[in-house]
Structure 1
Amino acid sequence: MDKGAIVRTAVLVIALINQVLVATGLNPISGSEDVWGEAISSAITVGAAVWAWFKDNAVTARGKYQQQVLKDKGLK
């Protein structure tokens, strides 16, 4: 794993842990106890999940091309 993958995974794990804690009524981050805090926590979790998914999958034309080149050369 490269540094970017580690950072994306760490951000996603922290966001998911925070989301679970907020959903169960625990508030690890100051300000996450009100409705706006829950909305912000949810937005961060969704953003982190989309970021991790997008970076780890070939969803762009360039990414698909790179995946095909790797497959053709027997590297994947």
Structure 2
Amino acid sequence: MKNFDKGTVIRTVLLFMALINQTLIIFGKPVLPIEEDQITSLAETLYLAGSMIFTIVTTLAAWFKNNYVTEKGKKQKEVLKQQGLTK
């Protein structure tokens, strides 16, 4: 992954974390080992809402950003750099 920029790696890792978290929630396996009787329904609702917001935000960030992960994309990024059109 040495050819990927830091932003691409961070967005990809966060996206996978969000998707894994949502998958665990769907199958009833919460990430935090908290017993059902230890939390109230409000806390559970807030946790689920927070997880969903995290997933939506990371998905949108990964979707809207130009990640240049294919060979063609890497070549495009190099051309943009040479032309001074990217960071």
Instruction: Establish whether TM, by shorter chain, passes 0.5.
Output: yes
Displacement of 1:36 after TM fit? 1.3
1:29 aligns with 2:32: yes
Measure, in 1, the Cα distance between the counterparts of 2:33 and 2:53. Answer: 16
Structure 2: which amino acid aligns with 1:43? I
CA distance in 2 between partners of 1:47 and 1:35 (Å): 18
In the alignment, which residue of structure 2 is the partner of 1:3?
6
Alignment partners' CA distance in 2, 1:51 and 1:30: 29
TM-score by length of 1: 0.66
Q: 1:49 aligns with which of 59, 63, 73?
A: 59
TM-score (norm 2): 0.58
Supply the RMSD in Å over aligned alpha carbons. Answer: 2.5
Distance 1:28 1:39 in 2: 14
Name which one, 1 or 2, has greater alpha-carbon Rg. Answer: 2
1:5-51 CA-to-partner distances (Å, cap 9, x unmatched) read 000000000010001101111111367x7111111101100000001
Q: Which runs of 5+ in 2 are unaligned?
A: 37-43, 68-76
SS of the residue corresponding to residue 20 of structure 1 reads: helix
The total of aligned residue pairs comes to 60
Structure 1 CA distance, aligned partners of 2:9 and 2:54? 17
Distance 1:7 1:23 in 2: 24
Q: How many percent identity over aligned positions?
A: 40
